[in-house]
Amino acid sequence: MTVKQKDTQLTGAQTLLKCLESEGVEYIFGIPGGVVIPIFDALVESKMKFILTRHEQGATHMADGYARVTGKPGVVLVTSGPGATNTLTGIMTAHMDSVPLVILTGQARRPSLGKDAFQEADIFGMSMPVVKHSYLVRDTNDIPRIIKEAFYLANTGRPGPVLVDLPADVSAGLFTGSFDQKMDLGGYNIPPLPSKENIKAFAAMFKGVKKPLLLVGHGAVISKAEKEIKTLVEKFGIPVVNTLLGKGAFPETHPLSLGMLGMHGTAYANKALISCDLICSIGSRWDDRINGNNQEFCVGAKKLHIDIDPAEIGKIVKPDASLVGDAKAILEELIKYLEPMDTKEWQSEVAFYKKEFPLKYDTTKGLTVPFLVDEVYKLTKGKAIVVTDVGQHQMWTAQFYKCDYPDRWLSSGGAGTMGYGFPAAIGAQFGRPHDLVFAFVGDGGFQMTLSELATAAIHKLPVKVVVNENKYLGMVRQWQELFFENRKSGVDLKGSPNFVKVAQAYGVKGILIKNVREARRKLQEAINHKGPVLIHADIIKENNVFPMIPAGKSAHHMMIDPPKK
């Protein structure tokens, strides 16, 4: 397709790129195709860097990882039809975890819409349940307004993905409008700071309590409320538990941190959950992985909720008091109105739980994920950006890699997306090129997106990926063992490749760790290598994650150790 244009006139594609540049876009992740060729042609003259991935799902996860470590929206550009639909898993992942993305999809020409044209797909309709907003651009002159709105929507309030569908003739058409266009977002409002009276009433709920507990979630990380949370904790002596994605909102090495709560949280976090007389959630959804049985959750305790999204208030837990708005801004005010609390006995109680029920692992039977994670934690002094895939290794990594800093822990929480970890780590490395990035993945999830080894190799990214091979889909196998009389079905990963050779085939350094004795030396070797490294860890075949709360149960039913056979 040849695009004719006047010397002084821009095409829709050129207009789009100028708008992206004005938003400060640094990287665009994706794969080209027929209907987006005008955009790719314009990219030749752009200062933005296009990262060619090997799958559109990988592109979306890379943009996700980039967004989580930078706080800036990640940008994806793909073609129509299967190119667009391949992004849906990554879009859902970002939507569930409140990650700002702008996904640009090509579309068939406007006269062909609804007529089953080649590679036509209603991505506008398909994406609606998993985006913050979707656009189908029908006029080239609307591009500046729509792009401005897309970035604003993606990164304000509760962040999330926004999809912009671009018909081929819109991209190829001539732009005759103005770049100076106002946004038109009727009905979209960012919650203001609650009134002083409401904050005072919220603060009054803390009066008389003896065992307060803070629950910090991903919203606390997104709002950058770590300073205010630390002030609140240390000034009033309130212990803290965090969700899977709340890691880093409060230093996990702090004496008052109890770490992650919930299904595979620490025993001492869940013990505190049972004993508290007040729990205050800051940016957490009270989801089923921390609250498996709402009827038995923190019985008798006051329940307070701070969240930017009013839809989350009362959705699962009906709070005794709530505040809607930005967590950081609310906490700044809340601290002014809280009265001193005597929590010395409560602090002693949770300290006892930490001493009595520590996290532990056994190295006598062979190489395990907890041991490897602990070794990486020690070697990196807890300062690496850590990314996980989904499964047993995810829970072990959350338990044993303590995060003291925000925006250094990436994991697929709400969607539980296998295949997320490695491409997200690549995106994180693009976003923070001078930081050490470690990805912990399983042999199942890694094989879903391992083709992105090419992306890591081409760009010489120093990302380190630990492939934990137990030759099982481990978390499903664990459930089958514990709850289905060990009837294994569909979990044997027989036929997996030699991962070191796969890495080498892509031009990536591969390292095999076979036992505990050589682990530290080889992990250090990987850290010292300036390029990407795949560490193939031959872990013991059957090992289960504990503590564990069975699905649909409360913390009262926590299994701290494996059941006796």
Residues 6 or more apart whose Cβ sits within 8 Å of residue 381: none
Q: Report the pLDDT value the prediction gives residue 563, as an integer from 0 to 100.
A: 87
Q: Report the pLDDT value the prediction gives residue 329, as an integer from 0 to 100.
A: 98
CATH 3.40.50.970 in the chain is located at 10-175, 369-546
- One digit per residue, the tens of pLDDT, for the chain of length 565 reads 344 444 469 999 999 999 999 999 999 999 999 999 999 999 999 999 999 999 999 999 999 999 999 999 999 999 999 999 999 999 999 999 999 999 999 999 999 989 989 999 999 999 999 999 999 999 999 999 999 999 999 999 999 999 999 999 999 999 999 999 999 999 999 999 999 999 999 999 999 999 999 999 999 999 999 999 999 999 999 999 999 999 999 999 999 999 999 999 999 999 999 999 999 999 999 999 999 999 999 999 999 999 999 999 999 999 999 999 999 999 999 999 999 999 999 999 999 999 999 999 999 999 999 999 999 999 999 999 999 999 999 999 999 999 999 999 999 999 999 999 999 999 999 999 999 999 999 999 999 999 999 999 999 999 999 999 999 999 999 999 999 999 999 999 999 999 999 999 999 999 999 999 999 999 999 999 999 999 999 999 999 999 999 999 999 999 999 988 6
Domain covering 10-175 assigned CATH 3.40.50.970 in the classification? yes
Domain 369-546 adopts which CATH fold?
Rossmann fold (3.40.50)
What CATH number labels 196-356? 3.40.50.1220
Residues 472-522: tens digit of each pLDDT: 999 999 999 999 999 999 999 999 999 999 999 999 999 999 999 999 999
Reference 74, options 443, 563, 323, 426; nearest CA is 426
Give backbone dihedrals phi and psi of 553, rounded to 5 degrees, phi first.
-110, 170
Neighbours of 182 (CB within 10 A): 8
Q: Which two tokens stand for residue 376?
A: 């990486």
Q: Report the pLDDT value the prediction gives residue 358, as an integer from 0 to 100.
A: 97
Q: Report the pLDDT value the prediction gives residue 508, as an integer from 0 to 100.
A: 98
CATH 3.40.50.1220 in the chain is located at 196-356
Neighbours of 353 (CB within 10 A): 20
DSSP codes joined into one string, 312-324: GTTTSS--SEEEE
Q: With beta carbons less than 8 A apart as the criterion, state whether 163 and 107 touch.
A: no
Whole-number Å distance between alpha carbons of 388 and 204: 40
72 sits in which H/E element: none
